[in-house]
Amino acid sequence: MNLAKAALKLFSANVINAAISFLGIALFARALGASQIGSYFLFVALLGILTVPADFGLRGAVEKRISEGNTPDIVFTTALLLKTVPISLVVVVLIVARGYIAAYLGAGLVGLLIVALFLQEVSRMMISVLKGELRVGETAVLESAQKVCWLLVGGGLVLVGYQVRALVYGLIAGMIVLLVWGWYRSETTFDRPTKTYARNLLSYSKYNSISSIGSLFYSWMDVLVIGIFLTQVHVGAYEVAWRISVAVVLLSEATATAIFPQVSKWNAQNAAAKIERIIPDATTASLALVIPAFFGALLFSRDILRIVFGSEFEIAWLVLIILLLEKVFQAIHMVMGRSLQAIDRPDLAARATMVSIVANLGLNVSFVWAFGLTGAAVATLIAATLSSYLHVRYLERFLTIRVDQSEIGWCIVSALGMVAVLSVVTFYIPIETIPQLGGVITSGAIFYGLFLLLSPSIRSKLTRNMKAAFR
C-alpha cells in the first residue's frame, strides 16, 4: 500500500468535500437564515449521535478484521447480520419518541431521520470494506460524489421552496449514491455468516463503539446541548464555526485514515519498528495545516463569519478561534488514536475516550448554561486536550513515540511569520468582500508554505512523499 498516494488522494478529496460543504453551507445559510439551517444541523447532529447505538462499532471492526487478511466475505456478511439488531432497536425508540424528536428538531423530520439512519449505516459499511481491502484512496471519489449530490439536490430543492427538508433530501440522495457506488467498487461479496466471526467482530466492536462515541461527541454533543439551552440561531452560528474549523484537519484526517490499515497489517506481522518510524512523520503532517489556521483565525475570524455567512453569524467569532485551537489537539489525537486501535488495543482507546466523554458532557452542560456559545467551545477544547494526552500515554506502553519537535516548532515559527506579513497587508488593505478575503487567505497560505520550505528536513520529506504519491 502506497501511504503517500493514499493520503494524497484522501486529502485532495477532503479539500474538495470541504469546499463543497463550505459553499453549500454559505449559500444555504444566506438563503434559509440561521434558524432554518440550525434545524438542519440539529437533524445531522441527532443522526450522528444515533450512529453509535445503530453501529455498535461494527464498521471499525470490519475494517480492522478485513485489513488483517481474514476472509472478507464472511466478515462482511456476518457484520451486516449483526447490525440488523441495533438498527432495529434504534428505529423502535425513534418511533416511540417521535413526538419529542419532532418538537426538538423544529420540523416533522422523524420519518426522514429513520430513512437517513438506515442508508447511512449501510453506505458507510461499504466505505469500511474498501478501507479494509487496503483501497483507502479509492474511497475519496465516493466521498466527493456524496457531497456533490447533497449540494445539487439540496440546492435545487431550496430554489423551489422546500427549506430545511431540501437539505435533508440532498443528504439522503448522497447516501444512496455512496451505497450504490461503494457496492460496485468493492471486491467483497456475501458468504455464510459464522458464530466464530461474530464473536471476533464483537470482541473488537464493543471497544471501538466507545471510541466512536468520542469522535461523535466532539462533533455533535455541544450542538445538541446548545439546542437545549439556547436557540436555533445559536445552533446555526456555532455549527458554522465548527464546520470552518473542521476544514483545517483535512490533512490530519487523511493521514490518520491512510495509516490505519497499514499499521494494522504491520502489527499483525509484528513489525513494530515500521510503525514507530511512521508515527512521527504522520504527526507532523497532521499538524502542518492546523497550526497556521489557528494563528490566522486570530486575525480573520470576524471577517470570515461576517463576510461569507452574514452578520448574524458573527456572534461565533471567539468560538471559531477556540475551536481552531482545539483542532491542534484533535490532530494529535487522530494519529495516536487510530494507531492505538490499529495495534489491536481498542480497549485502551475506549478507556481514554470514556474519560474525555464524561468531561465533555459535564463541561458542556455547565459551561453552555453559564457562558453560552463560548462555553461550549471551551468545554470541547478541554476534553480534546485530555483525550489526546491519554491516547499518547496509552500508545507509549507499546511503542516508542518520538515526535519531531524541531519540525513542529518550525511550523509554529512559519505560522508566526505568516501572521506578521498579513498584519502588515491588512493594515493597508481593508477586507470587505469575499474576493478580498480569499486573496488575503491565499496569500497567507503561500507565505506559510514558503517559510515552511526553509526547513531542510521538512523540504526533504515533502519532496520524498510527493515523488512517492505520484509514482
pLDDT on residue 416: 92
Residue in the structure block whose three cell numbers are 471501538: 208
Percent of the chain with pLDDT over 90: 5
User: What residue ranges do the domains of the chain occupy?
Assistant: 3-403
The per-residue pLDDT for range 418-466, each reduced to its tens digit, is 989 888 888 777 788 888 888 888 888 899 889 888 888 877 877 776 6
pLDDT on residue 471: 61
Check if the beta carbon of residue 164 is closer than 8 Å to that of residue 49. no
Q: Mean per-residue pLDDT for 345-373?
A: 83
Q: Mean per-residue pLDDT for 328-354?
A: 81
Q: Mean per-residue pLDDT for 82-95?
A: 86
C-alpha cell at 39: 434545524
Percent of the chain with pLDDT over 70: 89
pLDDT on residue 351: 82
pLDDT on residue 207: 65
The per-residue pLDDT for range 212-264, each reduced to its tens digit, is 665 666 666 777 788 778 777 787 788 888 888 877 877 777 777 777 777 77
The per-residue pLDDT for range 153-174, each reduced to its tens digit, is 888 888 887 878 888 899 999 8
- Would the pTM count as exceeding 0.75? no
Position with higher pLDDT, 230 vs 470? 230
Position with higher pLDDT, 2 vs 91? 91
